[in-house]
Amino acid sequence: MATVQFKKIIKKFGDNLVLNGVDVDIKDHEFVVIVGPSGCGKTTLLRMLAGLEEITDGEIFIDNLLVNELHPSKREIAMVFQDYALYPHMTVEENMNFALRLRKMPKKEIAARVTEAANILQLNKFLKRMPKQLSGGQRQRVAIGRAIVRKPKVFLFDEPLSNLDAKLREEMRVEIAKLYQRLNATIIYVTHDQVEAMTLAGRIVIMNHGIVQQVGSPIEVYRKPCNLFVAGFIGSPTMNLLSGRLSIADGVSVFFNESLTLPIPAFVLPQKEARDGREVVLGIRPDDVLVEHPGGEKCSSKIEGVLEVCELLGHRENLYLKVGGQRLLATVEAFFNRSPGSAVSLCLNYQNMHIFDKVTERRISE
Amino acid sequence: METLKSIYEVTWFILLVAAGVAVLIGYLYSHFKFYSRSWFFPAALAAFPLLALAVFGGLLGGYTFKLWLYFLLAEAAIAAFFRSVVKGRHTVPYLMLAPAFVGLALLLVYPFIFEVYLSFHDLKLTTIMTWKNTGTLPFVGIDQYVKVFTTSPLSETTFWHLLLRTLVWTFSNVFFHVLGGFILALMLNNHIKFKGFYRTLLVIPWAMPQVVAVLAMRGEFHSTNGFVNIVINKLLAVFPFLAGLGVAPVQWLTDYPLLTCTLINIWLGIPFMMVVILGGLQSISSSYYDAADIDGASYFQKLRFITLPLVRPVMMPAVTLGTVWTFNNINVIYLVTGQAGGTEQADILVSALYKAAFTYNRYSYSAAFALVVFAMLFFFSVFYLKSFDAAKDER
Ligand SMILES: Nc1ncnc2c1ncn2[C@@H]1O[C@H](COP(=O)(O)OP(=O)(O)OP(=O)(O)O)[C@@H](O)[C@H]1O
Ligand SMILES: [Mg+2]
C-alpha cells in the first residue's frame, strides 16, 4: 500500500546528534525491523516518521509524498507506542474507535471496524473494560487494535513486546506475524530483541549511534555482517571475535596471534596480497566452531584446546574453550560428555568465517 | 515587667497542656498495658473517676456524688471497651494520636457541641445577664431554626434573598476561578521562557495575607483615586467614542459592592486553581497527546477528550474546597463593605451571620443559622465527593 523513504535524515536535540544521515528505502508491503542498542535513535526515527518530532534535516517520503511538514493525522500512519498510551479514561472500545469518531465516520462503519479488529485480536470480551482492568498482553492487543481500525498505510510499532514476559512475547510475536499476512500493509517495527528481529523481519535495519550499519534480509545480515558492530550484535550466542594479524606464508594467507595460527583459504579472503600485514578481527559463530569433528575440505586443520565450562541448554550445549590464551565459545549438540579441564580438538568452519579490518571495522572477507 | 508576665503566663499554659497530655497518655497507656489483669478493673474504677472528679468537678457543676457516678459509669464503659475490643492492639498509633485528638476536641468538637446547645436555647442581649448569673438559659426547642428561615438576620435582606445571593456569588466565583486557573495553567504548561518567573508572579495574590491583598485591592476600586477608575478616565480621554458606548467611571464600592467583591475574590482565587490544575496537567503523560495527534485530534478536541477528563481527578477536590471556601468567604465581603455604616447589598450568608452575632448580638439565632449553613455545605460536599468517587470507580 505504501512506500517509505528516509533521505539523509539528521536529528539533533540541542547539540546532541541523535540521528546522523539515515537513508532507508522501504518498499510497499514490507515488514522492516529496526534494531539497535538502547539509545541509538530508533524511537526518534519512528517519531519523526509519525510527525511527532521535528526533522532537523533531510526528507521523509510516504508514497512519494514529502511529509516533512504534514500533520501526523494526515500521514495515514498508525503507531503502537512503547508504553501503549491507551487513554486511561476510555473503555477499550472507545480507545479503539477514538480516531474514527473524530473523523465523524458513520456509526455503522465504526462498529463494523471495531468488531472486525476485536475479532482478529480476540478482544470481544474486553470491549467495555477500562485499560487498567486489562493485563499487559491485553493492553498490547488493544493498542494494536487501535492502530488497525484506522486502516493506515503504514504501521509503526515501537518495541511493542518489551513490557511482556518471555512466553507472552513469543505468543504475541506469532500474532503479529499473522497480522502482517492478513493486513497487507507496510510495517516498521522497532525492537532491540534480535529474536524478534530475525523472525519477523522481511528486512532488518541495524542502527548504532544514529547511523545505519547495515540493511538486509535476516539471512544476509546473519551470514554476511558488513562490519564488526553487526557481527557482534546479530546472533545469539554472540560471535567469537579473535584479534590478530594477516601475513602471507608460502603463498597462502595466514591469520595469527599469540595463541593461534590459521591458514585462510582464498575463497574466504580474496586479494590476499593487498591485505598482507593488516591487523584484523576474525569472526566465527559458536555454531561454526566444530568440536571433535572429522574435519574436511571446508574446515581448518585440527586445533588443540581445553574445555573450561559446559552449559547445558537442553538440546544444545555451550562449550567455553581455551586455545592457548584465546577463549572460544562453541555450541554443539547435547550431550557432550567431557569434564571441564579435558583436552578437546576443534576446527573452524571456513564457509562461515568473517574477517574484518580492525581499523575500519569493515568486512574484508567474501 | 509586662513582657515577663506574658512569658510566665505562656509558660504556665504550655506546662498545663503538657501535663494534660501526659495524664491522658498515662491513662491510655495503663488501659493498653494492663487491660487483662484481674486487679485492673477495680483499681481503674476506684482511681480514675475520683481523679476526674478532682480535676473537672469545679468546672462541671460542683464536686457532687452524681458527677462521680457519671465518671464511674464512663470508666466502666471505657475499661470494658479496652478489655473486649481494643485488647492492647495498636498501642503506639493511638498514643501518638491522642494529643492531637484532644487538641481537636478542645478546638472543634467542644465549640461545635456548645453551638448545638446554644441553637436550642435563647441567648441574646436580653438574656445574657441571666445566663451569667444563673448558668441556665431558656430552652426554646427549634424556635431558632424556624426564625432562621422566617426572619431576617439583617435589617433589610431576608434569608432567602441572602441564600440566592450566596449561590450566585459562589457559582460566579468558582466558575471564574476554574476558568481563569485553567487558561493560565494551560499557558504555563507550554515551553515558554521565564516560566518560573510568571508562575511566581501569578501565585503572589495567593501567597500574600488575604487581609493585605483585599485592602490593597479595595483601594484600587476607590471612586477617585483607585486604579480602575483612573484607567477608565484615561481610556475615555484617549478614545472619546467609548463614552458613547456607556463607559464611565463607576462608584464601585457604593453602587456595585457585590460586583467589586466578586472581582477582587476572583483575582484572589485564581492562583490556587491554577497551581492545582497545573499540577494535574503536568502529570498527564505526553504520550496521550502523541497518540491523539496521530488519531487526528485538533487542539480543542485534545483539550476536551484528553486534558479535561484527565485533570478532573485533581480538579474535583479543588472545586469542592473552592466552593466551600467561597461560600464561607467572609474576609473579602467584610473587608470591602463591612466597616461601620457599610452596605448590606453585598452580604452573603456568612457575613450576615457575622453581623447577626456580633452587631445584633443574637447569639442563639446565629448558632442555629451557622448550623443551617454547615448542613448545606456538608451535604453539598458529601454529594459532590460521592458523585466524584462514583465517577472514579467507573474507570
Ligand atoms: N526529547 C529529547 N530530548 C533530548 N534528547 C533526547 C530526547 N529524546 C531522546 N533523546 C536522546 O536521543 C537518543 C535516542 O533516543 P531514542 O529514544 O530514539 O532511543 P531508542 O533507540 O528508542 O532507545 P530504546 O531502545 O532504549 O528505546 C538518546 O540518547 C536520548 O537520550
Ligand atoms: Mg525507544
Show the cell assigned to B140. 426554646
pLDDT value of residue B168: 95
Q: Verify whether ligand 1 is closer than 6 Å to residue A280 (CB atom).
A: no
Distance of alpha carbon B240 from alpha carbon B220, whole angstroms: 23
How would you class A16 by CB atoms within 10 Å of its CB: exposed for 0-12, middle for 13-18, buried for 19 or more?
exposed
What digits encode the pLDDT tens for the residues B131-147? 888 878 888 888 889 98
pLDDT value of residue B393: 58
Calculate mean pLDDT across residues B190-213. 87
Tell me, yes or no, whether B112 lies in a domain. Answer: no
pLDDT value of residue B388: 74
Q: Verify whether ligand 1 is closer than 6 Å to residue A49 (CB atom).
A: no
Asked if the model's pLDDT at residue A273 lies above 80, the reply is no
Residue of A nearest to B296 (CA): A73
Confidence band, pLDDT 50/70/90 cuts, at residue A268 = confident
Largest CA distance in chain A: 81
Give the residue whose CA is nearest to atom 29 of ligand 1: A39
Residues of chain B with a CB closer than 8 angstroms to some CB in chain A: 285, 287-288, 290-297, 301, 305-306, 309-310, 394-395
Q: Verify whether ligand 1 is closer than 6 Å to residue A15 (CB atom).
A: no
Shortest CB distance from A85 goes to which of B288, B301, B305? B288
pLDDT value of residue A1: 63
Say which residues have a Cβ less than 8 Å from residue A94's Cβ, sequence separation at least 6. A87
Which residue's entry shows cell 468558582?
A: B174
Backbone φ and ψ for A354, nearest 5 degrees, come out as: -120, 135
Could you tell me the CA-to-CA distances from B364 to A41, B126, B144, B153, B209 in Å, in that order?
A: 74, 12, 7, 12, 32
Short-list B236, B230, B384, B395, CA closest to B315: B384
Confidence band, pLDDT 50/70/90 cuts, at residue B391 = low
Paired strand residues for A66: A61
Q: Where are the beta strands (DSSP E) in B148-225?
A: none
Closest ligand 1 atom, residue A16 Cα: 5
Tell me, yes or no, whether B143 lies in a domain. Answer: no
Is the sign of the CA dihedral B363, B369, B373, B374 positive or negative? positive
Size of the A and B interface in Cβ pairs below 8 Å: 61
Contacts of B290 in chain A (CB under 8 A): 47, 50, 52, 79, 81, 85
Residue of A nearest to B290 (CA): A52
pLDDT value of residue B15: 93
Give the full edge-to-edge strand order of the sheet including A65-66.
Answer: A16-26, A4-13, A57-62, A65-66
Distance of alpha carbon A127 from alpha carbon A94, whole angstroms: 8
Shortest CB distance from B294 goes to which of A79, A87, A130? A79
What digits encode the pLDDT tens for the residues A54-104? 999 999 999 999 999 999 988 889 999 988 899 999 999 999 999 999 999
Contacts of B310 in chain A (CB under 8 A): 88-89
Give the full edge-to-edge strand order of the sheet including A261-264.
Answer: A261-264, A252-256, A240-249, A279-284, A353-357
Tell me, yes or no, whether B93 lies in a domain. Answer: no
Instruction: State in words which class domain A4-233 has.
Output: alpha beta
CATH of domain A240-357: 2.40.50.140
Residues B231 and B333 grouped into a single domain: yes
pLDDT value of residue A292: 85
Confidence band, pLDDT 50/70/90 cuts, at residue A43 = very high
Give me the amino acid identity at A276.
D
pLDDT value of residue B263: 93
CA dihedral A156, A162, A163, A167 (to 10 degrees): 120
Number of domains making up chain B:
2
A85-88 LR contacts (CB < 8 Å, sep 24+) = A85/A143, A85/B285, A85/B287, A85/B288, A85/B290, A85/B291, A86/A131, A86/A139, A86/A142, A86/A143, A86/A146, A87/A131, A87/B288, A87/B291, A87/B292, A87/B305, A87/B306, A88/A130, A88/A131, A88/A132, A88/B310, A88/B395
- Å between B307 CA and nearest CA of chain A: 11
Confidence band, pLDDT 50/70/90 cuts, at residue A216 = very high
Asked if the model's pLDDT at residue B394 lies above 60, the reply is no
Tell me, yes or no, whether B212 lies in a domain. Answer: yes
Asked if the model's pLDDT at residue B255 lies above 90, the reply is no
Residues B77 and B172 grouped into a single domain: no
Paired strand residues for A318: A311, A331
- Ligand minimally distant from the alpha carbon of residue A19: 1
Show the cell assigned to B367. 448558632
Calculate mean pLDDT across residues A321-349. 89
Calculate mean pLDDT across residues A247-265. 86
Contacts of B391 in chain A (CB under 8 A): none
Could you tell me the CA-to-CA distances from A35 to A188, A192, A201, B66, B366 in Å, in that order?
A: 11, 5, 10, 87, 75
pLDDT value of residue B370: 93
Domain that holds residue B356: 151-361
- Ligand minimally distant from the alpha carbon of residue A18: 1
Calculate mean pLDDT across residues B26-47. 86
A240-357 has the same fold as A4-233: no
Asked if the model's pLDDT at residue B178 lies above 80, the reply is yes
The verdict on whether omega for the bond into residue B171 sits within 30 degrees of 0, i.e. cis, is no
Name residues 124-143 of chain A within 8 A of B (Cβ): 130, 132
Least-confidence region, from A156-170, A192-206, B57-71: B57-71
Residues B278 and B167 grouped into a single domain: yes
State the distance from the centre of ligand 1 to the C-alpha of A41, rounded, in angstroms.
Answer: 5
Contacts of B392 in chain A (CB under 8 A): none
What percentage of residues in chain A have a pLDDT greater than 70? 100
Residue of A nearest to B297 (CA): A102
pLDDT value of residue A56: 92
When the pLDDT of each residue in chain A is averaged and rounded to a whole number, the result is 90
Which residue's entry shows cell 480535676?
A: B55
Per-position b or e across B172-211, b if 16+ CB within 10 A of its CB: bbbebbbebbbebbeebbeeeeeeeeebeebeebbeeeee
Which of A44, A194, A208 for mutating ligand 1's site (highest number of atoms within 8 Å of CB)?
A44
What digits encode the pLDDT tens for the residues A100-141? 999 999 999 999 999 999 988 888 999 999 999 998 888 988
Domain ranges, ordered by start, for chain A: 4-233, 240-357
B235: domain CATH number is 1.10.3720.10
Contact B288 A83 (CB under 8 A): no
Shortest CB distance from A98 goes to which of B290, B295, B309? B295
What digits encode the pLDDT tens for the residues B300-352? 999 999 999 999 888 888 898 899 999 999 889 988 887 655 677 888 899 88
Which of A11, A17, A20, A42 for mutating ligand 1's site (highest number of atoms within 8 Å of CB)?
A42
pLDDT value of residue B51: 86
Which of A13, A56, A80 for mutating ligand 1's site (highest number of atoms within 8 Å of CB)?
A13
Contacts of B294 in chain A (CB under 8 A): 50-52, 72-73, 77-79, 99
Q: Verify whether ligand 1 is closer than 6 Å to residue A34 (CB atom).
A: no
Short-list B130, B122, B141, B147, CA closest to B363: B122
Cβ pair A302, A323 in contact under 8 A: no
Backbone φ and ψ for A311, nearest 5 degrees, come out as: -125, 120
Short-list A160, A326, A175, CA closest to A240: A326
Residues B46 and B172 grouped into a single domain: no
Distance of alpha carbon B95 from alpha carbon A142, whole angstroms: 51
